[in-house]
Chains A and B, each alone.
Chain A
Amino acid sequence: MSEVTASAALAMSDRPLAENRKRFSARGDSAHWGVLYGVSGLFALICAVFIISIVVSSIPAWRHSGLSLIYGRVWSQGSDSFGALPIIAGTLATTAIALFFAIPIGIGCALAIVHVIPGRLRIILSSLVELLAAVPSVVYGLWGLLVIAPWFEKTVEPDLADITGSRFPFQSPPEGVSLLLAGCVLFVMVLPMIVALSRDAIAIVPHDQFEGALSVGATKWQVLRKVVLPGARTGIVGAITLATARALGETVAVAMVIGLNPLFPPSLFSTASTLASTIALQFQDATPLQVAALGALAVILMALTAVVNWFGRRLVRGTAFRAGVV
């Protein structure tokens, strides 16, 4: 610090007073602000070019198919027929399966971490769950494809078909690589996010309220359900929303386990496709028009995830931002 003081003092004595006032005023130091604004502007520019480039790259496809890109029912690259409805349906279905499992288990987990597990064990367990978030998505894909898919094909899916009598949506034949498998892999991937964010939301519910409810004779579960969960509601809904955005946009893991079949999946055991996985797998050998059609899928995906994300961020703003999880 002394060096700074000395040089500042020297600088002060050398210059006329007016100039000093300008350079040392609270909002002054134009070089500093110049760098900050310049670099931030560069980032803003990159984001703008990013959005524009994706939207513009999709224009030929919108010209070719119009709005039937969104509601058309046939997606066939061979015949240049681009209707994304089955793909959108697949995206929503996998996300729904993932959330169906992830919401109850994630919230239960968060409650257990904050209010059931004692002291030291709590830190270990919650960082273990967070480790799940650090595993790269391609590794989930590998695990899903080579370990879980065979298990699903031989055991889980035939058993489910037996139990339900092969009624909708559990019709055979079991294929292993399927909508259900993609949903389950996504479940594992979004779980750490729901756990970590809801845990933060649950942990900031004041302990007085918890003890107050206990003192009037409520059981632990009654307190958790009637006091803690309502108190943490905003944060938990935010966690679920962010997890939804993640599930909608997950690419590589889903691409590896869903079988890429751009039809309406008739059963949970049949192959399907999602927006992101279609882009990932069909881009490589696409003609310029097909690239544009995939660009249109990207626009749909971007709009969907951006809206969901924006909404979720507003809800979890109060809690800490976790670079490792979100």
Chain B
Amino acid sequence: MSTTVIEGVPPDPILERRELVQRVARKTLDRRVLVSRAMVGLCGVALLVALVPLFAILYSLVDKGVRWWSVTFFTKVPQFPSLIDPNAIGGISNAIIGSLVIDGIAALFAIPIGVIAGLFLAESDSKFASGLRTTAEIMTGLPSILLGIFAYQMIVIGFNEWGIKLPGIGFAGIAGSFAIGVLMIPVIMKASETALRGVPATIREAGLALGARRGVVARKVVIPTALPGLITAVLLAFSRAVGETAPILWVIGASNIIEWNPRKEMASMPLEIFQSATSPYVSLRDEAWGIALFLVFLVLVLNLGSRLFAAWLQRERR
């Protein structure tokens, strides 16, 4: 392209400036491309760096944990390592059952409360709802150890130092269930709100237009439609609860036998890992890897399973 230069007309400042910019851009192009390649490369390196710990942890878990998986490990109760045979330490069946009972009871009361409160957040636009939403958001971010203190004060000693004579029930599995349940509620609440809000307003309004009451619409239309999302929400919250150690650290006591009664002291897998890892016995420290591998396996199955199940359910619906 050629430009016609008219004599006597002063040069256009815009054109001049454009030329300057283009000249600078050309001159710095090599440098800029080099810097760009380097920085974009660094971003890729950052991604690799982020994946190193994941694989390092998984490698350690499988490398040191898988040889503990045996029939004894899953079916026997722990046995204190003796001097004669420090490797005879039994199994972890009591911890598996303890985790099952504690988290099961927690889920039993946290799921209905969480889903119904989530429905409330999705349906109501009152001040109370928005306040509750903020509360739930802050609760999910609070350190879980605080719930341990709460459960200790309320369930274990029953506030008895304040002159309120609640019947404190002492160290018991149910105290751990309480702490974990309270931990799960806000997570389920927020996630199910998101799932329930995803239900198209037209479907809800169609139900209302037929003359159904709000409760009927919620039960028969909204919740079934949002079911895949709700299941993901619940399973994700549960998978997180299974691995929680801090809230149950000093409220469930300890037990070396298989204990199904939640009012008694119990064992649980995360706690067992914590105690074994910090124990002076080499065999117990090693065994912690076996338990950890099983726990991570469970959590990942729940985590991935929930996503896959929800995706499958979504597809079936179509």
**Measuring CB to CB, which residues of chain A are less than 8 angstroms from any residue of chain B?**
1, 4-5, 8-9, 12, 23-24, 26, 28-29, 31-33, 35-37, 39-40, 42-44, 46-47, 49-50, 53-54, 56-57, 104-109, 111-113, 116-117, 125, 128-129, 131-132, 134-143, 145-147, 188, 191-192, 195, 217, 219-222, 224-225, 242, 245-246, 248-252, 256, 276, 279-280, 283-284, 288, 294-295, 298, 301-302, 305-306, 308-310, 312-313, 320-321, 323-324, 326
Please encode chain B, from 108 to 133, with 1 for each CB lying within 8 Å of some chain A CB and 0 for all others.
00001100110111011000110010
Q: Is the CB of B47 within 8 A of A112?
A: yes
User: Using Cβ atoms and an 8 Å threshold, which residues of chain B touch A26?
Assistant: 208
Q: Does B75 contact A (CB under 8 A)?
A: no
With A131-B300, A222-B32, A305-B143 in contact, is A276–B47 under 8 Å at CB? no
Interface of chain A: mostly helix, strand, loop or mixed: helix
> Cβ of B62 < 8 Å from any Cβ of A?
no
Contact, CB under 8 Å: A139 / B273? yes
Taking a contact as CB atoms under 8 Å apart, the answer to whether A136 and B116 are in contact is no
Q: Decide if B194 touches A36 in the complex (CB within 8 Å).
A: no
Assess whether B117 is in contact with A39, with CB atoms less than 8 Å apart. Answer: yes
User: What distance in Å separates the Cβ of A133 from its nearest Cβ neighbour in chain B?
Assistant: 9
Interface of B toward A, CB cutoff 8 Å:
25, 32-33, 35-40, 42-47, 49-51, 53-54, 56-57, 60-61, 112-113, 116-117, 119-121, 123-124, 128-129, 132, 134-150, 152-154, 159, 161-162, 182, 185-187, 189-191, 194, 207-208, 210-216, 218, 220-221, 232-233, 236-237, 239-240, 242-246, 249-250, 270, 273-274, 277-278, 285, 288-289, 292, 295-296, 299-300, 303
Q: Are B51 and A128 in contact (CB under 8 A)?
A: yes
Q: Which of A195, A245, A284 is within 8 Å of B50, CB to CB?
A: A195
Q: Are A139 and B274 in contact (CB under 8 A)?
A: no
16 contacts between A and B (CB under 8 A): A35-B215, A107-B46, A109-B47, A125-B47, A134-B300, A138-B292, A140-B57, A191-B50, A219-B32, A221-B32, A221-B38, A280-B246, A283-B249, A301-B145, A313-B141, A324-B303
State how many angstroms separate the Cβ of A296 from the closest Cβ of chain B: 11
- Shortest CB-to-CB span from A146 to chain B, Å, is 6
In whole angstroms, what is the CA distance A7 to B226 when docked? 24
Q: Which residues of A contact B32 (CB under 8 A)?
A: 219, 221-222
- A112 to chain B minimum Cβ distance, whole angstroms, is 4
Q: What separation, in Å, do the CA atoms of A326 and B40 have in the docked complex? A: 27
If A33-B214, A40-B120, A54-B153 are given as contacts, then 17 extra A-B residue pairs at C-beta distance below 8 Å, sorted by A number, are A1-B220, A8-B213, A46-B185, A54-B149, A56-B162, A57-B153, A107-B46, A135-B299, A138-B295, A139-B61, A219-B32, A224-B39, A251-B145, A252-B274, A283-B149, A313-B138, A324-B303
Which 8 A-B pairs rank lowest in CB-CB distance, beginning with the nearest? A136-B243, A249-B143, A108-B46, A32-B215, A309-B141, A221-B36, A219-B36, A8-B211
> Are B141 and A9 neighbours in the complex by a CB distance under 8 Å?
no
CB of A138 within 8 A of CB of B47, answer no
- How many Å lie between the Cα of A23 and that of B119 in the bound state? 20
Given the interface pairs A136-B270, A217-B25, A251-B246, the reply to whether A323 lies near B187 with Cβ below 8 Å is: yes
CA distance A31 to B215 in the complex (A): 8
In the assembled complex, the Cα of A21 lies from the Cα of B270 at a distance in Å of 55
- CB pair B120 A302 closer than 8 Å: no
Question: How far apart are the CA atoms of A219 and B34 in the complex, in Å?
Answer: 9
* Shortest CB distance B287–A (Å): 11
The reply to whether B43 and A112 contact each other, CB–CB distance below 8 Å, is yes
Given the known inter-chain contacts A47-B139, A138-B292, A320-B194, please indicate yes or no for A36 contacting B211, CB distance below 8 A. no
CB proximity of A227 to chain B, nearest CB, Å: 13
B298 to chain A, nearest CB (A): 10
> Do A321 and B295 touch across chains, with their CB atoms under 8 A apart?
no
Contact, CB under 8 Å: A9 / B211: yes
The docked-state distance in angstroms from the alpha carbon of A312 to that of B246 is 23
**Interface pair B215/A108, CB less than 8 Å apart:** no
Q: Measured between alpha carbons, how far is A92 from B5 in the docked complex, in Å?
A: 67
Partner of B296, one of A105, A111, A135, A298: A135
> Which of A8, A49, A57, A248 makes the CB contact (< 8 A) with B212?
A8
List, in ascending order, chain B residues with CB within 8 A of A242's CB: 141
Which residue of the partner chain A has the closest CB to B153? A53
Residues of B near A32 (CB, < 8 A) are: 213-215, 218
Find out whether the CB atom of B44 lies under 8 angstroms from the CB atom of A112. yes
A145 touches B278 (CB 8 A): yes
Residue of B nearest to A57 (CB): B153
Q: Are A53 and B150 in contact (CB under 8 A)?
A: yes
Q: Which of B37, B148, B182 contacts A46 (CB 8 A)?
A: B182
B185: chain A residues at CB < 8 Å are 43, 46
Report whether B113 and A43 are in contact in the complex, using a CB–CB cutoff of 8 Å: yes
- Is A321 in contact with B212, judged by CB distance below 8 angstroms? no
Residues of A within 8 A of B25 (CB): 217
Q: Min CB distance, A280 to chain B, in Å?
A: 6
Bound together, the chains give a CA A143 to CA B288 distance in angstroms of 10
B161 adjacent to A288 (CB under 8 Å): yes
Instruction: Give CA–CA (A43, B232) in the complex, Å.
Output: 21
Q: Are the CB atoms of A323 and B250 closer together than 8 Å?
A: no
Nearest chain B CB to A291's CB is how many angstroms away? 8
Instruction: Write out the residue numbers on chain B whose beta carbons fall within 8 Å of the beta carbon of A310.
Output: 134, 137-138
User: Cβ of A47: which chain B residues have Cβ within 8 Å of it?
Assistant: 135, 139
**Inter-subunit contact A136/B245 (CB<8 Å):** yes
Tell whether, in the assembled complex, residue A301 and residue B143 are in contact, meaning their CB atoms are under 8 Å apart: yes
Residues of B within 8 A of A4 (CB): 207, 210, 212, 216, 220
Assess A284 versus B213: contact at CB under 8 Å? Given A43-B185, A131-B54, A137-B245. no
